[in-house]
Chains A and B, each alone.
Chain A
Amino acid sequence: MADGINGANRISALNPVGYAPKVTPKPMAPRLDSLDGKTIFLVDPRFDDSGLFLGQVRDWFTDHMPSVKTKLVEMSNVYTKDDPKTWEMIKANGDGAIIGVGH
């Protein structure tokens, strides 16, 4: 077995890095023409006072874009878990979503 060291004091070493996952491209949802009259869900991941922050986002829309309907909802569980029931509800009842403040 070669010791990995050649005559020029150069060492051959192995790479310590694992194999990256194959990334599958995901499509983005079509964007909205405008927010006028649209319903935008403000999704609170329930992390580090995120609900208080989204309350201010809601107030911003009230002050600056009153035609936008906002609905502030909490995720059903810890932010680390998926929440398909909430996503289905937003899909059925909303036009867009803002999630924050997240990791």
Chain B
Amino acid sequence: MHAIALDSKYGVPTVAIHTNVFEKAVQSVTRMHGMPEARYTFVPQPVMGKTAAQLRAYVDGKSPISGRPVMQEVIEGLTRPAEGDGLKETKFERSTPRLIDADTDENLQRLFLENNWTDKLPIVLPTEKRVAEMLAHTSHKPAEIAGHIRSNQFRQHWEFTVEQVAVNAVMAGASPEYFPVILALAASGVSARGSTTSSMAAMVVVNGPIRNEIAMNSGTGAMAPYNHANATIGRAYGLLSQNLQGGSIPGDSYMGSQGNGYAYGTVTFAENEERSPWMSFHVQHGFKATDSTVSIFTGCRSTAFTLGVREKYWREHVRNMLRGMDAHSAPTFLLDPIAARQYIDRGGFDTKEKLIQWVYENALMPAGEYWDYQLIQNYIYPRATFGEEPYASKLKAAPDEMIKMFKPDEIHVVVVGGETNGYWRIMGCNYQKTVSVDEWR
């Protein structure tokens, strides 16, 4: 995308070099950004970790896509005039028909599957009647624009209506009374099907009265597939994300190298406000306790877990867990109420904020190790060199100096679980936002 901007906006002839696994993604992005003739070539994947000699062989070699010399394509890309007919081949006005051609149940299930509109599990077909029943549970009009969504920063936003959200909610098997929660998730603009090679998934925490109104689970098995609302709201969030943003297809619009099982249902649950010793998550973020909200986290990949908060070595145990996390994804503590109360007993953390402060001060790593992580090199090191704090100060640390891994505002605590035991876990993830459900009733 930078190459397109440099070429079209700044008038500098530009060639982009990508690795071959991004062929379809590059074609899609250049077309959707209005420059189907953008110049690019490909080298083999991966570049990361290769020696100078291996990288030179890439440069001296041929594109694994076209079979032509890489540098020949680079030079031609800078010198060969635009043919100007690429745009004519591109459809720029695309309207999405409201209805699918009528067919049998079996054929429609196959159509939805083959069009990559599902999560590869059977769906509930979104008939007019079912969609209307879903729409009856919001005051918003079916044709109202509910929001915009995209799979990552390099893709353009797609637009969607309230009715289109309802279609996806029906497909997921959601009950109509869940619809305001699903609409709030859609309108957040945060995708549960983000396209990143790191295979991230999303996590949703529901707070406020809506939890009990729709019988969500915040207790035993809350994060597992044992509650209809938890399961189908999470599934609806995934389906609406992929379908309303223009797809989530491996190799094309989804580049997660390994994929992520958390993405099947999106990790969706209610906070156990009744058994939590602390302020609930949405109140921490500026809402009233009587408000109903959804809080969205992305980047869910790494998880650490343990049992209890031991009297003698709890500090060491937690530090070990934090050091084992991906240094780029901040910790969100998901605590069973038993573990939450143990934290109060052991550390005197009578507020979530006090526990967060302790985590901030104790998640430490030698600077040399920290800066050598590939994700830190990709996403934090450039910001440090640009002068952004606190990263710029961390960059001045000697290699053996212990530095803080995370910022306090990146660390979060949520209480969930049914007190069958004091298990708890840390989810490495990035908090995005908390949004109102009530606005979508």
Q: Which parts of B380-426 form the interface with A (CB within 8 Å)?
A: 381-383, 385-386
| Known interface pairs A26-B8, A76-B382; A100-B17 also in contact (CB < 8 Å) | yes
- B17 contacts A102, C-beta separation under 8 Å: yes
Q: Which of B48, B75, B160 contacts A19 (CB 8 A)?
A: B160
Complex Cα distance, B187 from A70, in Å, reads 46
Size of the chain B interface, CB-CB below 8 angstroms: 103
A96 close to B78 (CB less than 8 A):
yes
- A21-B159 contact given A11-B127, A26-B8, CB 8 Å threshold: yes
Is the pair A49, B13 in contact by a Cβ cutoff of 8 Å? no
Query: Which A residues touch B304, using CB under 8 A?
Result: none
Contact (Cβ within 8 A) B243 A90: no
Closest to B45 in A: A101
Per-residue contact bits, chain B 85-128, to A (CB 8 Å; 1 contact, 0 not): 00100101111111110111100100010000100000001111
Residues of B near A47 (CB, < 8 A) are: 378
Interface hub of B14, B90, B130, B160 (most chain A Cβ within 10 A): B14
| Count class of interface residues, chain A | 35 or more
Which of B13, B38, B92 is within 8 Å of A31, CB to CB? B13
Cα distance A59–B52 when bound, in Å? Answer: 11
Q: When chains A and B are docked, how far (Å) is the Cα of A43 from the Cα of B17?
A: 10
Contact of A29 among B8, B93, B104, B240 (CB under 8 A): B8
Contacting residues, chain A, for B52 (C-beta < 8 A):
52, 55-56
Within the assembled complex, what's the spacing in Å between the Cα atoms of A91 and B152? 27
Residue of B nearest to A87 (CB): B10
B102 touches A29 (CB 8 A): no
In the bound complex, residues from chain A placing their C-beta under 8 Å from that of B12 are 29, 41, 87, 90-91, 94-97
The answer, yes or no, to whether A69 is at the interface (CB within 8 Å) is no
- Compute how far the CA of A91 lies from the CA of B13 in the bound complex, rounded to whole angstroms: 10
Residue ID in chain A nearest B154 by CB atoms: A103
- CB neighbours (8 Å) of B288 from chain A are none
How near does chain A come to B204, taking the closest CB pair, in angstroms? 20
Question: Do residues B19 and A43 form an inter-chain contact, with CB atoms below 8 A?
Answer: no
Q: Which of B10, B22, B31, B153 contacts A23 (CB 8 A)?
A: B31
Residues of A contacting B163 with CB < 8 Å?
Answer: 14
Q: A32 vs B217: C-alpha distance in the bound complex, in angstroms?
A: 63
CB contacts under 8 Å to B, within A14-30, are 14-30
Question: Are A49 and B47 in contact (CB-based, < 8 A)?
Answer: yes
8 A-B pairs within 8 Å (CB atoms) are namely A3-B129, A12-B127, A13-B102, A20-B158, A21-B157, A48-B378, A74-B385, A87-B9
Nearest 5 A/B pairs, CB to CB: A100-B17, A4-B127, A18-B244, A26-B8, A18-B160
